[in-house]
Structure 1
C-alpha cells in the first residue's frame, strides 16, 4: 500500500514558432520572470540539460531540423514544438535523493525518445530551482514519413496510451510509481496551469478560513443587537467581500461538498 502520493506526471503542450522564444527564455532562465514568483534564482545553477552542454537557440534549431527532414514548408501557424513536462507527486519527488531524481528524469527522457524519436528531441531541461523538481523535454513533431504534424502524432489514442505506458516504464526501472487520475474529461495541464491550480487550492483554504472568521463576527454582531434583525444584504456582503479580495471579478461558486471553485 502506498504511504504517500506517488503519481507519475507527464503532460504535453503544443507550441507554434511564435511561442518558441518565450519557452527558451523560461527553460534557460534568460532574465528574471515577473510572473513565476516560485523560481529561486539562488538554485538556478543546479539546473541542467540532459542533452546539451550549452544553451540552444530553439527557433533556429527547430527550423534547421524541419528544413532537413520535411519537404513541405510549414504554415505560419503550424505546431513546431511539442513540450513535455515530466515530474511526480511533490511528496514522492522531493523524497528521492539527487541521484535518484536524475535517474527518474533520465528514464523519462529514454521513454520519450523511444516513443517519438531521438533525432527529433531538442532538449531535456531539468529545473531544481522551483518547489518540485521537474523536466521540460522538447520534441519536434515530425512523423515517420517526414511530415510536420503534431495532430497526427498526438491524437487522443496516443495521449491515452502515453498516460498508461509512462508509469509502466518507470516501474520497470524500480520506481514505485503509479499513473495519476484517469478520465478522458480531465484536462492535461501545462506546468504554468498546474502551478496556478496549486495556488488556487491554497487560496480556497484561505477563503474558507476568512469566511469562518466573518461568520464569527456575524454571530458576535447578532448577540450585540438582540432586538435587531440583520438585513440579508449584510450577510451577502460579508461573503462577497472575502471572495472579491481573493478572486477579483472572477465568479466563485460553492459546491455541495463545501469546496469553492472558479465558475466556468
Structure 2
C-alpha cells in the first residue's frame, strides 16, 4: 500500500456553505452518509474554531466581510462555476497504516503541523475551523486513492475550512479570490511539494507520483468524482438497455406466426422479420411514451382539481367570515344608534334642568338683593317697633296674625 499523504481542496459557493458546516461539526441527528459511525463521533476533535457562538460559516463570512476585514465583489447568481467561492476546504488524508499506528496525541500533533503548513503556504487565508474526524470510513473513487486508503476502513483525516484571501498589491488590500489563490501553472503540484517537504518527510511519507499533464484529472474534487461515477453508471445503464432491447426482439420473433422458410425466400423472410421487429419496437416505444404522457396529464389534472377544491374551500370560508363580520357590523350599528339616541335624550333633559336652574338662580338672586336692601331698614326699625308694642300693649292674640301679615308686607 502506498505511503502518501494527500491534501486536496474544494471551493464552496454561498448556497452550499451549509453542507461542509453540517458535515464537519456533525450538526445533524440523522446522517445520509452511511460511512459515519456515530458510536465513534466522540473521538472527533476541533483543532481550530474561529466561529462565535451560534455562527455558521456563512454568518462568520458575512461578519468579517461587513466589518471590512477583506474586500471583493461577491457573485452569487448565475452558473455555479462562475459564482464566487466563499470558502475553500482543504482535505488532509494521511495513509491509513501510518495514522492508525499513532496515538490520539500523536495524531493531533500531526494534523496541527499540517494545518500550520497550509497557513504558512497561504499566508493571507482566514481559517474558520479545522476538524479531525475519526468516525468516518473512506471509500475511494479511483484506483490511485484505493491504493492509499483501504475500502471501508475508518481513516482519521482533517477538514480545514478557510476563506480564500489574497493580497492585492495594486490596491494594497486583502481580497477574496480562490482563482488567484491557485493561480499559476502547476500550482497544485507546487503546493503538494511544499506540504511534503514541510511535514511529509518528517513522518517518512513518500512524495507520490508527479505528472506533467492531466494534473487536474489526478486531483479532482468531490463533485468531479461524482460526475465520473455518474458517467460509469450511465454507460452501464445503456448496456443494460441494449440487452433488454435484444431480449424484446427475440420475444417478438416467438410471437410472430411461423412461415415456411426455404433457400429461395430466406432473405425475404429475414428482411420481413426485421421490419416487423422494428415496427413492434417503435409501437412499444410509442405506447410507453403515450402512457407516460397520460400519467403526467392525469397527475396535472389531479393537482389542478385539488388546487381548485382548496381554493373553493377557502372562498367558502372567506364568505362565511364576511357574513359573520356583516352581522357584527349590524349589531354594532344598532348599538351605536341606541347610544346616540340616549345621548340626545340626556342632552335634552340636561337642557331642561339647566333652564330651570337658571330660573331658580335668577329668582334666588332677586330675593337676596331684596333682602339685602330691606334688611338694614328692618334692623333700624325693629327696636322702635318692638318698643311701641311693649308700651301700648297692642300685642294681643286676636290681633297677632293681622299685624304679622302687615309687617311682612312692609
Distance in 1 between the 2:108 and 2:124 partners? 19
Residue 208 of structure 1 corresponds to none
User: Is 2:185 the counterpart of 1:162?
Assistant: no
Describe the superposition over 1:122-178 as per-residue Cα deviations: whole angstroms up to 9, x where unpaired: 110110101110000011111112121110111243212111111111146x31112
TM-score (norm 2): 0.44
Residue 33 of structure 1 corresponds to 31
SS at match of 2:204: coil
Task: Pick the aligned partner of 2:219 from 188, 204, 208.
Answer: 188
Residue 159 of structure 2 corresponds to 136
Residue 265 of structure 2 corresponds to none
The structure with higher relative contact order (CA 8 Å, sep 6+) is 1
Assess if the C-alpha contact under 8 Å between 1:111 and 1:166 holds in 2: yes
SS at match of 2:40: helix
Q: Which runs of 5+ in 1 are unaligned?
A: 201-242, 253-264
By how many angstroms is 1:101 displaced?
1.2
Say which structure is richer in strand.
1
Task: Pick the aligned partner of 1:99 from 93, 96, 105.
Answer: 105
1:34-53 to structure 2, matched below 5 A, reads 34=32, 36-52=33-49
Residues 98 and 151 (structure 1), Cα distance of their counterparts in 2 relative to 1, 3 Å cut: same
Distance in 2 between the 1:5 and 1:14 partners? 27
Assess if the C-alpha contact under 8 Å between 2:93 and 2:157 holds in 1: yes
Distance in 2 between the 1:40 and 1:98 partners? 18
By how many angstroms is 1:182 displaced?
2.0
Q: Which runs of 5+ in 2 are unaligned?
A: 77-82, 137-153, 169-173, 241-410
Q: CA-atom RMSD, angstroms? A: 3.0
User: Is 2:123 the counterpart of 1:117?
Assistant: yes
By how many angstroms is 1:29 displaced?
1.0
TM-score (norm 1): 0.67
Moved more, 184-193 or 25-34: 184-193
Distance in 1 between the 2:64 and 2:128 partners? 10
Distance in 1 between the 2:55 and 2:43 partners? 18
SS at match of 1:129: coil
Say which structure is richer in helix.
2
Structure showing greater radius of gyration is: 2
